[in-house]
Chains A and B, each alone.
Chain A
């Protein structure tokens, strides 16, 4: 009788599974069973190193056998850390049809610029060792923040430099803000976020000039601070696929949240439009989600690019992130042949993601 007790009603986790089986088996085809098994199994974490900690965390993590994402890269990819940036290969939109230039050669790859301050440690492929919880140092700051290592990619891809004015439009709970703050000062939002930041960032840095945490509706941001930011991270609420498959609590697939779930693509579009408006001309916007859903990923970006041009006269260029994915393909599995943006897909041996990201540059 141990197995006889099958639940009569449908919990949200099984509703999400049904939904994903229907949509992703079409969208991902042959890849879906492999992604599915990974998402239903224990995920892997990365340890985002806190540069503000006084402890010798780096050596400790290396001794345990983990490595910095950026030091364990594919040797064929050329990368210049902290050098002058160049224009990254990208293609302008014409109409709604979108295409990326496809040559991955040494020249284009060397254009990649990544902050060396964002250090994320992971255990090697196939290694299922877990990280110990971070300990506070003498000043009470924690040595690392455990997060999906793939979540660090949008921060790396955003390419924040010293002196940049950065907007993190949907910052809570704060993992990505923390990664961005490893490079410098940020503007962002909420409460749990405050708590996370307080555990990691020295008080002297969390000043009002350096950091503003607000709880304005992100979709309205563009109304009052237009054309302002060099970098904008738009890490939108989504169906959070992995969470929806594993936790019944606070699950977007529960019956009571159906309409909220249906409105997600619209909210995502509004947030991305607000991020686009808040960026300055020449500024860069990074759109990211933790869902595999094409409707919440590529379709939102496509529409935003279209609406920005048609309704606001803003021209956007898609920035090619393949140099980044090419470099990190030993650590992550990326979805092949996405026509727009890049996506980390979960795999049992590298159980990170899903993370979708697409980078846009404002031309006007």
Chain B
């Protein structure tokens, strides 16, 4: 069905005509000013007419995904590199994302929120998927969910990611399903550790023992991470902003000194 929709779109773009003209942009459904913007953006690109040739196929591919002209424009402004990606690569990358379970709907959403995903080589995405499956033991479905909710994960350094994963798995005793649900990979290691350490020192969070038991009931990862700082402080940690602010500075110094002593993987 993908191929079919591609072909039907391709008809409107007159195959064999690589020229990107204002007229062809209008023809695709852009308004006058949108077309003007794209025309200017592409002519500014290095590589001149070669880039323009790719621009055309990029636009086609995005329309094939079912995106409307204004979201296509918005996404290209976020990530102009897309204009210069070769058509075959683009198709490969999109195809790969589909294979990874990002079906219609989620695929559109991912591409419009994080267009960079189609600038990343298939190989990189595949090795990140391998990493999530093999080192972190996420299920296929969980990996799909991670890609859908936090596509930027594909650009992360796996050593850092592994450290974050292990911190949450071992120190916080949180299982994969809950990590996915709380969109863990949206947050930096510092954010996760700061909130967790603060809770832990206040006696509101405990590392489970070998049997997975704790004396107190730990709050869900989701309720710690997916709230703004004010809500976190008033509802979850029940502390003042002053305390948390001083705590973060103290913690930063603790980490620095720890790193100096042992050297940890998250050091850049």
Instruction: Please list the residues of chain A having a beta carbon within 8 angstroms of any beta carbon in chain B.
Output: 1-4, 6, 21, 25, 32-34, 36-37, 40-42, 126, 128, 347-349
Instruction: Please list the residues of chain B having a beta carbon within 8 angstroms of any beta carbon in chain A.
Output: 163, 166-167, 169-171, 198, 201-204, 207, 209-210, 238-239, 242-243, 245-247, 249-251, 253-254
On whether the beta carbons of A6 and B209 are closer than 8 Å, the reply is: yes
Complex alpha-carbon distance, A33 and B169, angstroms:
24
Complex alpha-carbon distance, A40 and B203, angstroms:
10
Complex alpha-carbon distance, A128 and B169, angstroms:
31
Q: Can you report 16 A-B residue pairs in the complex whose CB atoms are below 8 A from each other? A: A2-B166, A2-B170, A3-B167, A3-B170, A6-B207, A6-B209, A25-B203, A33-B238, A34-B243, A37-B198, A41-B251, A126-B245, A126-B246, A128-B246, A128-B249, A348-B247
On whether the beta carbons of B250 and A348 are closer than 8 Å, the reply is: yes
Nearest opposing residue in chain B for A347, CB measure:
B243
B residues less than 8 Å from A21 (CB atoms): 203
On whether the beta carbons of B247 and A37 are closer than 8 Å, the reply is: yes
B residues less than 8 Å from A37 (CB atoms): 198, 201-203, 239, 243, 247
B residues less than 8 Å from A25 (CB atoms): 203
On whether the beta carbons of A33 and B203 are closer than 8 Å, the reply is: yes
A residues less than 8 Å from B198 (CB atoms): 37
On whether the beta carbons of A36 and B169 are closer than 8 Å, the reply is: no
Chain A, interface SS category:
loop
- Known contacts: A3-B167, A128-B246, A349-B243. The answer to whether A42 contacts B254 by CB under 8 A is yes
- Known contacts: A2-B166, A3-B167, A34-B239. The answer to whether A41 contacts B204 by CB under 8 A is no
Complex alpha-carbon distance, A1 and B170, angstroms:
8
Nearest opposing residue in chain A for B254, CB measure:
A42
Complex alpha-carbon distance, A42 and B210, angstroms:
29
Please pick, from B171, B245, B247, the residue contacting A41 in the complex, using a CB distance under 8 A.
Answer: B247
Complex alpha-carbon distance, A21 and B214, angstroms:
14
A residues less than 8 Å from B249 (CB atoms): 128
B242–chain A nearest beta-carbon distance, Å: 5
A198–chain B nearest beta-carbon distance, Å: 32
Most buried by A among B166, B171, B238, B243: B243
B residues less than 8 Å from A41 (CB atoms): 201, 247, 250-251
Nearest opposing residue in chain A for B167, CB measure:
A3
Nearest opposing residue in chain B for A21, CB measure:
B203
- Known contacts: A3-B167, A36-B203, A41-B201. The answer to whether A126 contacts B242 by CB under 8 A is yes
Complex alpha-carbon distance, A151 and B171, angstroms:
36
A13–chain B nearest beta-carbon distance, Å: 13
Nearest opposing residue in chain A for B247, CB measure:
A348
Complex alpha-carbon distance, A348 and B209, angstroms:
28
A residues less than 8 Å from B171 (CB atoms): 3
Please pick, from B166, B250, B253, the residue contacting A3 in the complex, using a CB distance under 8 A.
Answer: B166
Complex alpha-carbon distance, A349 and B207, angstroms:
26
B residues less than 8 Å from A4 (CB atoms): 170
Complex alpha-carbon distance, A347 and B204, angstroms:
17
- Known contacts: A33-B203, A33-B238, A37-B198. The answer to whether A6 contacts B210 by CB under 8 A is yes
On whether the beta carbons of A34 and B202 are closer than 8 Å, the reply is: yes
A48–chain B nearest beta-carbon distance, Å: 23
Top 3 nearest A-B pairs (CB, nearest first) are A3-B170, A33-B202, A37-B201
On whether the beta carbons of B202 and A349 are closer than 8 Å, the reply is: no
Please give 18 more A-B residue pairs, beta carbons under 8 A apart, in addition to A42-B250, A348-B250. A1-B166, A6-B207, A33-B202, A33-B203, A33-B238, A36-B201, A36-B202, A37-B243, A41-B247, A41-B250, A41-B251, A42-B254, A126-B242, A128-B249, A128-B253, A348-B243, A348-B246, A349-B242
Complex alpha-carbon distance, A32 and B207, angstroms:
19
Please pick, from A2, A33, A40, A42, the residue contacting B239 in the complex, using a CB distance under 8 A.
Answer: A33
A residues less than 8 Å from B239 (CB atoms): 33-34, 37
A236–chain B nearest beta-carbon distance, Å: 27
B206–chain A nearest beta-carbon distance, Å: 10
Complex alpha-carbon distance, A323 and B138, angstroms:
62
A6–chain B nearest beta-carbon distance, Å: 7
Nearest opposing residue in chain B for A42, CB measure:
B250
B residues less than 8 Å from A3 (CB atoms): 166-167, 169-171
B residues less than 8 Å from A348 (CB atoms): 242-243, 246-247, 250
Complex alpha-carbon distance, A136 and B28, angstroms:
81
A274–chain B nearest beta-carbon distance, Å: 37
Nearest opposing residue in chain B for A1, CB measure:
B166
Nearest opposing residue in chain A for B204, CB measure:
A33
B residues less than 8 Å from A1 (CB atoms): 166
B163–chain A nearest beta-carbon distance, Å: 8
Nearest opposing residue in chain A for B170, CB measure:
A3
Complex alpha-carbon distance, A32 and B247, angstroms:
16
Complex alpha-carbon distance, A36 and B237, angstroms:
13
Nearest opposing residue in chain A for B265, CB measure:
A2
Complex alpha-carbon distance, A124 and B166, angstroms:
38
B224–chain A nearest beta-carbon distance, Å: 15
Most buried by B among A4, A25, A33, A126: A33
Complex alpha-carbon distance, A6 and B170, angstroms:
9
B residues less than 8 Å from A32 (CB atoms): 203
Complex alpha-carbon distance, A333 and B164, angstroms:
36
Complex alpha-carbon distance, A33 and B243, angstroms:
11
A residues less than 8 Å from B210 (CB atoms): 6
B232–chain A nearest beta-carbon distance, Å: 14
A352–chain B nearest beta-carbon distance, Å: 13
Nearest opposing residue in chain A for B207, CB measure:
A6
Nearest opposing residue in chain B for A17, CB measure:
B203
Nearest opposing residue in chain B for A36, CB measure:
B203
Complex alpha-carbon distance, A34 and B246, angstroms:
12
B141–chain A nearest beta-carbon distance, Å: 26
Complex alpha-carbon distance, A349 and B250, angstroms:
10
Complex alpha-carbon distance, A42 and B170, angstroms:
25
